[in-house]
Structures are given as C-alpha cells and as structure tokens.
Chains A and B, each alone.
Chain A
Amino acid sequence: MAIFNYYPQTLSPDWPGGYWLHWGVFVVIILVFVMAMIMGFIWFERRGLGRFQVRLGPNRAGPFGLLQPVADAIKVLIKEDIIPAKGDKLVHWLAPVVAFVPALMIFAVVPFHDGALLADLNIGILYVVAVSSVGVVGIFMAGWGSNNKYSLIGAMRAVAQMVSYEIPLALSIIGVVLIAGSLSMNSIVEAQSIPFILLQPLGFIIYFLAACAEINRTPFDLLEAESEIVAGFHIEYSGMKFAMFYLVEYCEVLAISAIITTLFLGGWRGPLLPPFLWFLIKVFGVFFLIFWVRSTIPRLRIDQVMAFAWKCLLPLALINLVITGIEVIALPPALLWTVMFLNLAIVVLLALLWSKFFRLGGGRVEV
C-alpha cells in the first residue's frame, strides 16, 4: 500500500512554487493535457464509431490507426486556405480564434488533483458557465462572416439553441452548489464524500443533455446538419481554420466531460489509484457516454430541440431546484441514503410523467 501513499494528498495553493512557476507549469500542463486528450478522443471516436457502425474505422496509419490524428493534422496544415470573395474577411478570420479561446479558458479552473489547478477561483463554476457561453459568438461570427445562407441558418440555430439550453444547464448546476455550499471547483470536489450523481440524479441528466445540446453534439447538432444545411457554420472554411473548428468541438467535449466529472462524479477522488489517473478515467468514461449517445440517437428537428429545452428540461430543472432546496434545509445530513433513494424515485416518477403528458411533435412541421 505504500506506493499509493507516495502521491501527496493535498497540494499547497501555489504548488509547485512561486507565482510565475505555478502559472508556467499549469499553462504547459493544460495545453499538453488538452492537445493529447483531443488527439486521443478523435482517434477513439473514429475507431469506436466505426465499430458501432459495423465497419473497421481508420486502421492504416500506425498500429490500430493510432497515428490517424497526426496524419489529419499534417493534411489540414498543408491545405489551401479559401476565403469566400463575398465574405467579411476579418470576421471570417477571427471566428476560429473567438470560438477556440473560451473552450480552452474553461480548463483554468478544472482541478486535476487536490489543489492542482491553475486558478482556484471562489466563483469557479460560475466562471465556467460564463466563459463556455462565449464560444457561440465565434460560431455566429463564422456564420455571418462566410456570407453564405447555409452558414447563417446554422449560426442562427446555434444561437437559438444556446439561448434555450443555457437556462436548464445553469439551473441544474445550482442543485450541486446547494449541496456543496460553495462555487469553487476544488471545494465542490472536496464536498463529495459520495459522488453527487447519487444525490442529484435528475440534475445530472439535465446537465448532461443540456451540455450535449450546448456543445452541439450529434442528437442536437442542428447547426451543422449535413442532410439539410450541408455543413452549417463552417461550410466556407478550409485548411487550418476548419481544423480549428474541429478542435473547438473536441475541446468543448473534453471541457464538458471534465466539468461533469468534477461536479457529479467526484473529480479526482477515488481509492487506490493516484488522483490524476482517476480524473482521466472518469473523463474518458463521460466522453464514452457522450459518444455512445451520438452513435445511437438520430438527429432531432429544430422544433423538437427547442421544445425539449423549454417544455421538458426547464420545468424539470426548476422542480429539481426546489426539491434539492427542501432537502438541504429540512433533512439532516445523516439521512444520506434516504435522500438518495428518494431522489431516484423522483427521477423515475418525473420521467414517467413527462413521457406521458409531453410529446415531441412528430410528423411534418411548418418551417
């Protein structure tokens, strides 16, 4: 057991040293972590999607196709950069930057280990909510700057979707904040003697679905629906700028996986293995869930997506908020297991209720 105790359980706030050393080390850690994980995710998703669709997936570059992301990066780097003649060149050029920077900024408050994070803000999760919704500005800039009808439709859909799913997303986080009693990401992890997914099953489901919609994963990827608007907002992009949007998509998935891990799955906490490894395992688990949903469920229509946010997720998030508030005030902490089973029962009840009284519109829709 001695080997497991080798890892320090708590790091001082400015680990590994002074201000500038701390900053430099964590910037390098974050950039390496993000790039390595994105490469891993791209490979994992392409291979896994191949398996889900009963084909092999990329298997030529390197063993098991492991070098495929590298090959893609080189290919995209030496492609010609085409800017549409009618487009707004400055906006077209800036859009990938505006989309990518917020996605990267989220990782500034994600704890990889106890106390090991770039900046332990006391408003950590509020910062995440604020920063993550800036990314849609970049997507809208891309749609507007391309001067293409498909792009603009995609961008408008992205904005409408972001505006709708932002509220259930923020409300479902409040349930976690109520129990943890803090907004700091590290304190939220420290408060999780059992993972909050057990205390907040409804909050987890709402957050998961709303986050999938906000980062435009496949059941909700209307802004780039290939079957109707070709490629949506990045239709006029090629070369490195296209790669940037590809990177943004995976960076956001990684960010959402890391936040779900921190809020609901206990972050770096876990027995035996070192905390950083636990964090990686949980992030990969959440990513696998997101990508499983992608490969299973077909794309929704825009009216169904909007109705799902406003008529299903929002009332459920409000109900979850009130129930959690009552539990925090009225029930003593000793009744942890009771609360757990009560919440599970409530989830089942609400899911049955909503599936009975609330239906997504089928058939044709007037567009």
Chain B
Amino acid sequence: MLANYGYIGLFLIVAIFFAVSTLLLPVFLRFIGIVPHKPNPVKNSTYECGMETVGKSWVQFNFRYYFYALLFIALDILVVFLYPWAVNLRQIGSFGFISILIFISIIVVGYIYAWRKKVLEWK
C-alpha cells in the first residue's frame, strides 16, 4: 500500500514539473526574441474596462461568506465520518445504521435551525 502512495508522490513531482515547465517555455522563448516583452504603465495597470481603479481591492469580505463556511465545517465533518461507515455497513448491520441515523439527525437539527434563521438566504 505504501508503494502506491509512492506512485502518487512521484506523480505529484512530475505534475508540478510539467506545469512549471509549460509556464517557463514562454520565458525561454522571450530570451530568443520570439515572445514580445514591451511593458508600459498603461498596459500593466489594473484592467477595469477602461476606467481607472478607485481604492484598494484587497479588502475585507462580506460577512455572508462566513455563514456558509461555518455550516460547511459542521457538515463536512459529518461526511468524513460517513465514509468509513459506508464501507463497513454490511458487516455492522442495522445497529450501525441506527446509530449513524441518530448522528445525522443531530446535524440535521442544526441545519434546519440555520434554515429557519434565514442564514441560507443570500442577503
């Protein structure tokens, strides 16, 4: 099994190498003179359909994103627990099924609460 993860790790190196070398190809071609490189202040300014940018864009984000992130954490942990259970359901039988039903219903109560509190609305 460990050998299989070796394949994955080696493949990761190849994938990174592939992506980086693809990006370095134009840099190499620039030195030969095939790819142009003529920067100027207007070309390098932030693109905003011809307007000049007002203010910064690295700002704090709207709060509504965080509600989704919080709900995501609760439900994602549920999903992580469900995977090993799903593999072994035939062995552990109905006892395992009922206990996971109780677990799901606890999370679902929180989900329904969030729905009723209108957290799921995009406002």
Q: Which chain B residue has the least Cβ–Cβ distance from A169?
A: B79
Query: Given known contacts A85-B44, A147-B57, A149-B53, is B69 in contact with A163 (CB within 8 Å)?
Result: yes
Selecting from A61-69, A76-84, A287-295, the interface stretch reads A76-84
Binding site for A on B (CB under 8 A): 1, 3-8, 10-12, 14-16, 18-20, 22-23, 25-27, 29-30, 34-39, 41, 43-49, 53, 57-58, 61, 65, 68-69, 71-72, 75-76, 79, 82-83, 86-87, 89-90, 93-94, 97, 100-101, 104, 108, 111, 115, 120-123
Once the chains bind, are A85 and B34 in contact (CB under 8 Å)?
no
Bound Cα distance from A100 to B10, whole angstroms: 16
The residue in chain A whose Cβ has the minimal distance to the Cβ of B122 is A303
A residues near B104, Cβ cutoff 8 Å = 318, 321-322
Check B46 against A147 for contact (C-beta < 8 Å).
yes
Closest Cβ of chain A to B53, distance in Å, is: 7
**Contact mask for chain A residues 255-282; partner B; CB cutoff 8 A; 1 contact, 0 none:** 0000000000000000000000000000
| Chain A residues whose CB sits within 8 angstroms of the CB of B7 once the complex forms | 22-23, 26, 108, 118-119
Please state if B38 and A149 are interface contacts (CB–CB under 8 Å).
no
Residue A204 at the chain B interface, CB threshold 8 Å? no
- In the complex, the answer to whether A96 meets B97 with C-beta atoms within 8 Å is no
Nearest chain B residue, comparing its CB with the CB of A243? B22
Q: Are B101 and A240 in contact (CB under 8 A)?
A: no
Report the separation of the CA atoms of residues A144 and B61 in the bound assembly, to the nearest whole angstrom: 12
Q: Does B75 lie within 8 Å of A167, measured CB to CB?
A: yes
- Inter-chain contact A322/B101, CB cutoff 8 Å: yes
Q: A178 near B: Cβ within 8 Å?
A: yes
Say yes or no for A346: interface residue by CB 8 A criterion.
Answer: no
Interface pair B86/A108, CB less than 8 Å apart = no
Assembly CA distance A362 to B42 (angstroms) = 41
A164 touches B68 (CB 8 A): yes
Which of B34, B48, B86, B101 interacts with A148 by CB under 8 Å? B48
In the assembly, what is the distance between CA of A23 and CA of B12, in Å? 12
Q: How far is the CA of A67 from the CA of B34 in the complex (A)?
A: 22
- Residue A160 at the chain B interface, CB threshold 8 Å: yes
Pair B108/A318 contact, Cβ less than 8 Å: yes
Contact residues of A: prevailing secondary structure: helix
* A78-137 contacts to B (CB < 8 Å): 78-86, 93, 96-97, 100-101, 104-105, 108, 118-122, 126-127
- 9 intermolecular pairs with C-beta atoms under 8 Å apart: A78-B29, A79-B35, A85-B45, A104-B18, A119-B4, A119-B5, A120-B4, A183-B83, A318-B108
A contact residues, total (Cβ < 8 Å): 78
Does A347 reach chain B (CB closer than 8 Å)? Answer: no
Contact B87 A182 (CB under 8 A): yes
Q: Would A244 and B89 count as touching, CB distance under 8 A?
A: no
Cross-chain contact B8 with A119 (CB below 8 angstroms): yes
A167 near B76 (CB under 8 angstroms)? yes
Residues facing B in A295-328 (CB within 8 A) are 302-303, 306-307, 310-311, 314, 318, 321-322, 325-326, 328
CB-nearest residue of chain B relative to A80?
B36
Contact A177 B15 (CB under 8 A): no
Complex Cα–Cα for A167 and B10 (A):
30
| Given A147-B57, A181-B90, CB of A311 within 8 Å of CB of B115 | yes
In this complex, the member of B11, B39, B121 whose beta carbon has the largest number of chain A beta carbons within 10 angstroms is B11
Residues of chain A within 8 A (CB-CB) of B25 are 77, 240
Q: In the complex, which residues of chain B have a beta carbon less than 8 angstroms from the beta carbon of A178?
A: 86, 89
Is A345's CB within 8 Å of the partner chain B?
no
- Give, as a whole number of angstroms, the nearest-CB distance from A154 to chain B: 12
Q: Is the CB of B16 within 8 A of A85?
A: no
